[in-house]
Amino acid sequence: FDLLHLSLKIQSWHLLCRLRCVQSNIVLLTQAFRKKFVIPDFQPFCAHIDELYENAKNMPGGQVADYIPQLARFSPDLWAVALCTVDGQRHTVGDTKVPFCLQSCVKPLKYAIAVHDHGTEYVHRFIGKEPSGLRFNKLFLDEDDKPHNPMVNAGAIVCTSLIKQGASNAEKFDYVINFMNKLAGNEYVGFSNATFQSERESGDRNFAIGYYLKEKKCFPEGTDMTSILDFYFQLCSIEVTCESASVMAATLANGGFCPITGERVLSPEAVRNTLSLMHSCGMYDFSGQFAFHVGLPAKSGVSGGILLVVPNVMGIMCWSPPLDKMGNSVRGIQFCTDLVSLCNFHNYDNLRHFAKKLDPRREGGDQRVKSVINLLFAAYTGDVSALRRFALSSMDMEQRDYDSRTALHVAAAEGETERRIIHLSQRQVTWGNTPMDEAVHFGHHDVVTILRDYHIPYSPQSDDAAKQSAETNLDGLL
């Protein structure tokens, strides 16, 4: 009896543990069982990512940044891609566990923190919103004597001065690190003291920018410029891995909610503004080209990272140290370009019918279902313009629903008399009815006349009584 009691107690405990596991992850498990993830067929999509990774891996050229000695020590053969979707699906390939410094990839993150804490209006009293058209480290301000945007060095230095004003650098650094941990879902976020010291020793250009900003009174009142530059160098020296940085990007893609923890980290306002500026200013002097060809918010850094956001879908971190002449990762740029060539992730892919592009957000049959619904609804409402547009985009105008009804059956049943609709389809449904049958059944005389002109057959049912009734209806209409 004691053994039975103990066995039942253990079973109850295991059941309770399972229930607790399920309760804490019920949304994730429900999505998994129903295949309601943002990318339903995730494994085939990951196979495409692996192919793009291998393609970019063979890209020649580029040079590892050497103005900071610690950056020059990275092997040019390092190459990694990690992605995290807004519902927590993960995929990594390559050297994704190797830590590296964010460098300029930290700029959109600290801007997001500043807007989250102070709001858009306050932050943009000190920083503009326009691309500069100049090198990222130029000593130059806009016509209002403000840095052009927070993605260039001048704007990033001013943005740094807005975080936890009045606190010591130690308190500020702890605050930002804690924020970064939340963005990364408590995954790896570190700090390279060697890189920080090296940045400070070789940062003459940034000191020059700092003094220029101080002269132009660009900082909030009471700001200690040299202390702010130390804090700026510290933030550039924050370390991540591709895996943890992909979660940061996914948090931006998810409207400020971390997809791993479910916690709201950033306000919607901060996320929207950050993505807007990443899209227009995030890729140094290549920002316009990147927006044109890739059409997604991104931020690059001289350590070789590219933080890429596909809004409402996923975040991606690419990392490879060799840089092109613009300061962007050679392999990273190739990967991003190939990704948008394969998938319809470009912001403006929806302006046309891109039949050759993959849409990972749809299940296999979703596109056909949507196509049939649009076609039949256009026939139902008599929307000739929509039907013409579908025909010109090579849509199958004889698609059928679950009852094998074509658009012409629907138009005939609804009494649509626009003759151009008649060009749609002449197929029979599984019930044995033709469009003529539908028009007769619903008593649409004008439609019957048009269908007779197009020689569309009438095939009443085989049942004698039904046949007699149908023929009587047809005689009455004609």
Asked if 212 is an active-site residue, the reply is: no
CA distances, 214 to each of 151, 158, 161 (Å): 19, 10, 12
**Token pair belonging to 182:** 């939340």
* 3-state secondary structure at position 399: coil
Task: Confirm if 80 and 92 have CB atoms less than 8 A apart.
Answer: yes
- DSSP type of residue 427: P
Which of the following is catalytic: 64, 172, 232, 244? 232
Sheet holding 100-101, edge to edge: 100-101, 238-240, 189-191
Q: Is 188 part of the annotated catalytic residue set? A: no
**Catalytic residue list contains 107:** yes
Which strands form 80-85's sheet, in the order they lie side by side?
90-94, 80-85, 314-319, 305-310, 298-300
| Residue 181 burial (C-beta neighbours within 10 Å; 0-12, 13-18, 19+) | middle
The Cα 206–Cα 200 span in angstroms is 9
Number of CB atoms found within 10 A of residue 470's CB: 18
> In the block, which residue shows the tokens 């390092």?
78
Q: Rounded to whole angstroms, how far apart are CA atoms 456 and 409?
A: 12
The separation between CA 213 and the C-alpha centre of its own chain, rounded to angstroms, equals 35
Q: Are 162 and 119 in contact (CB under 8 A)?
A: no
Q: Is 303 a catalytic residue?
A: no
Would you give the distance in Å from CA 154 to the centre of its chain? 28
Examine the residue annotation and report whether 104 is marked as an active-site residue of this protein.
Answer: yes
Residue in 132, 189, 284, 287 annotated catalytic: 284
Q: Any idea which residue has 């970019």 for tokens?
A: 56
Measure the CA–CA gap between 242 and 259, rounded to whole angstroms. Answer: 16
The catalytic residue among 64, 81, 106, 107 is 107
Could you tell me where the beta strands, DSSP code E, fall in 102-256? 189-191, 238-240
DSSP, res 343:
B
Active-site residue identified among 152, 240, 271, 302: 302
Integer CA distances (angstroms), 272 to 240, 252, 374, in order: 23, 9, 32
CB 342 within 8 A of CB 357: yes
Distance from C-alpha of 367 to C-alpha of 452, rounded to nearest angstrom: 34
Element (H, E) at 316: strand 314-319
Among 53, 104, 115, 309, the one annotated catalytic: 104
Q: Which residues pair with 298 in a beta bridge?
A: 308
DSSP conformational letter for 452: H
Q: Torsion-angle region of residue 77: left (phi > 0), alpha (psi -120 to 50) or beta?
A: alpha
Q: Which residues are tagged catalytic? A: 104, 107, 232, 284, 302
